[in-house]
């Protein structure tokens, strides 16, 4: 039988991964509509997001083990089928309880898609062409979160929120059909499964599964609900934090001594793989944090609607799409190490530039700033993935993909939490500082109040009403300025992970790309 072109396999696998990653962000802007449609509060509706992220975080580290137990193709298709069916159920959910239940199931299914695709891409493409395959994969993991808010805003503005789930159904059906026709498990992977079954060496690591499920599940709840519940002032958050840390510490100790661990932590002893996991964490931190911040800033302070605010992200994503094939060509010439270094330097400059913008800037100023950030991100995904697999034997590909995706997702979760914490705490800080300067003892304050009061009196208000309105107007201005400064603090704070990325890039060990010059660092 004629071999199937690996590019058809790559395109097929990317469909479901794009669909799943889109779902992590598409519901964000639709929460008010979901809450209104189901007769609940927006705070309660946030569990629609949290439940998905928790289930996703639980499954991610287990995906390699599940692939080995059920077969990679079988597991991948089961994930696509369950994700698609649960999307349909989410769309017809009669109340919030059912919607959260279906989102949990959807998250369980979605957690296995990205790691499975990455592992299957490594096996489908010969080593010399893997960089190009990772370029295709990079488009999915960056485009989807960027387009999610725009698409979600457009759907809810022009139709029902239920369609943000219904759109997954035809996409999932197409993915299932193409996967069944084009994708097969590699012979080496099939042989390993057969050998483990016949030898009886494969043991189900029930303890490891439970510990990681509790550890990452509880951690995701802490990150998602901590700011809302006043962090460690809440017994709920404190308890979940203690349980999460305890479970993860015990899990690490347990897995390092288990003969057949559900998560192969020994991979982190490989220097380049450990560095790639750390770099993916930083990548996810910066990407997801800035993806949340920019539309939020435009909506809350510049009065953009959800669709337009989300579209400010799109040019940056398109830059990454254009750059992907260019970076693939640059890897054998420049080296992955240098490209990663350059990428984090550009990212650092991009987030600093975002911290210097003002509310007077128009849409395209923000869009160009995001494009600069996209330029930096474009130098990272493919080279970091190349570094991850540079010294790993092919038999470890499956286990490696689940860990790299776990670190990227956890980086995103920490990045979003960082944004929420800084916005809340620094806004209060800046408001208190600004308020100290808005006192009757200052002539500029008195002049502004007098002028504004006079303007309201000319509009027909009494002296008391005009004075109260002038003071209220000043409070609104101070609140807006404090909020803007807190956004700038967030963008400035992203300089730290960018700097850490620059330093880590310098420690990458050189490696020989197949048929090329050393790709690790020239």
CB 107 within 8 A of CB 48: no
Q: Report how far apart, in Å, the C-alpha atoms of 186 and of each of 25, 193, 276, 400, 432 are.
A: 33, 11, 25, 16, 62
Q: What is the pLDDT of residues 284-334, one digit of tens each?
A: 899 888 887 887 788 777 777 767 777 777 888 888 888 888 888 888 888
> What is the rounded average pLDDT for all residues in the chain?
83
Counting residues of the chain whose pLDDT is more than 70, the rounded percentage is 94
Choice among 105-109, 324-328, 368-372, 467-471 with the minimum mean pLDDT: 467-471
Tell me, yes or no, if the two domains 1-202 and 270-423+490-522 fold the same way. yes
Residue 345 — very low, low, confident or very high, per pLDDT cuts 50/70/90?
very high
Pick the CATH number of 270-423+490-522 from 1.10.10.60, 3.10.520.10, 1.10.10.10, 1.20.1250.20: 1.20.1250.20
Report residue 125: phi and psi, to 5°: -105, 140
Domain boundaries, the chain: 1-202, 204-258, 270-423+490-522, 429-483
Look at residue 1 in the predicted model and tell me its pLDDT: 52
Cβ neighbours of residue 340 under 8 Å, at least 6 residues apart?
A: 279, 379, 380, 383, 384, 387, 501, 505, 508
As given in the structure block, the two tokens for residue 297 are 């800033």
Q: What is the pLDDT of residues 171-224, one digit of tens each?
A: 999 999 999 888 887 777 777 677 766 665 556 778 888 888 888 888 888 887
Burial code of 355-394, b = ≥16 C-beta within 10 A, e = fewer? bebeeeeeeeebbebbbbbbbbbbbbbbbbbbbbbbebee
What's the CATH number for 1-202?
1.20.1250.20
Q: Measured between alpha carbons, how far is 519 from 241 in angstroms, rounded to an integer? A: 41
The answer to whether residue 466 scores a pLDDT higher than 70 is yes
């Amino acid at each position: 039988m004629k071999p199937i072109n690996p590019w058809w396999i790559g395109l097929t696998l990317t469909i479901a991964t794009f669909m799943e990653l889109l779902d992590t962000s598409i519901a964000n802007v639709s929460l008010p509509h979901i809450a209104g449609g189901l007769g609940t509060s927006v705070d309660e509706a946030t569990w629609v997001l949290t439940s998905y992220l928790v289930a996703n975080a639980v499954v991610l580290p287990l995906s390699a083990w599940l692939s080995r137990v059920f077969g990679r193709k079988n597991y991948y298709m089961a994930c696509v089928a369950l994700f698609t069916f649960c999307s349909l159920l989410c769309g017809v959910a009669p109340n919030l309880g059912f919607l959260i239940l279906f989102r949990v199931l959807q998250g369980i299914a979605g957690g296995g898609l990205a790691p499975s695709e990455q592992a299957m891409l490594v096996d489908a493409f010969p080593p010399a062409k893997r960089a190009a395959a990772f370029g295709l994969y990079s488009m999915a993991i960056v485009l989807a979160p960027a387009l999610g808010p725009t698409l979600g805003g457009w759907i809810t503005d022009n139709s029902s929120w239920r369609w943000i789930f219904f759109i997954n159904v035809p996409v999932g059906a197409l993915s299932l059909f193409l996967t069944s026709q084009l994708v097969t498990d590699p012979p080496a992977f099939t042989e390993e499964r057969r050998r483990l079954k016949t030898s009886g060496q494969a043991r189900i690591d029930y303890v490891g599964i439970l510990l990681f499920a509790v550890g990452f599940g509880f951690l995701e709840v802490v990150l998602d609900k901590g700011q809302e519940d006043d962090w460690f002032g809440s017994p709920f958050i404190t308890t979940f934090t203690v349980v999460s840390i305890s479970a993860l510490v015990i899990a690490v100790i347990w897995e390092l001594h288990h003969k057949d661990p559900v998560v192969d932590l020994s991979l982190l002893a490989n220097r380049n793989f450990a560095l790639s996991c750390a770099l993916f964490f930083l990548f996810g931190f910066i990407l997801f944090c800035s993806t949340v911040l920019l539309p939020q800033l435009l909506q809350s302070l510049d009065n953009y609607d959800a669709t337009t605010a989300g579209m400010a992200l799109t040019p940056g994503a398109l830059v990454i799409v254009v750059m992907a094939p260019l970076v693939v060509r640059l890897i054998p010439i420049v080296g992955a190490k240098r490209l990663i270094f350059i990428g984090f330097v550009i990212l650092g400059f991009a987030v600093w530039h975002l911290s210097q913008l003002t509310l007077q800037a128009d849409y395209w100023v923000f869009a160009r700033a995001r494009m600069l950030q996209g330029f930096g991100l474009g130098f990272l995904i493919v080279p970091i993935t190349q570094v991850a697999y540079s010294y790993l034997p092919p038999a470890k590909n499956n286990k490696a993909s689940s860990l790299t995706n776990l670190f990227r997702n956890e980086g995103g979760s920490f990045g979003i939490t960082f944004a929420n914490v800084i916005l809340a705490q620094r806004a209060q800080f800046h408001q208190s500082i600004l308020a100290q300067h808005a006192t009757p003892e200052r002539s500029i304050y008195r002049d502004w109040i007098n002028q504004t009061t006079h303007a309201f009196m000319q509009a027909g208000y009494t002296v008391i009403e005009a004075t109260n309105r002038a003071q209220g107007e000043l409070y609104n201005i101070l609140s807006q300025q404090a909020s803007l400064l807190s956004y700038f603090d967030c963008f400035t704070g992203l300089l730290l992970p960018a700097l850490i990325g620059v330093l880590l890039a310098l420690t990458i060990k050189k490696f020989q790309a197949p048929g090329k010059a050393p790709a690790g660092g020239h």
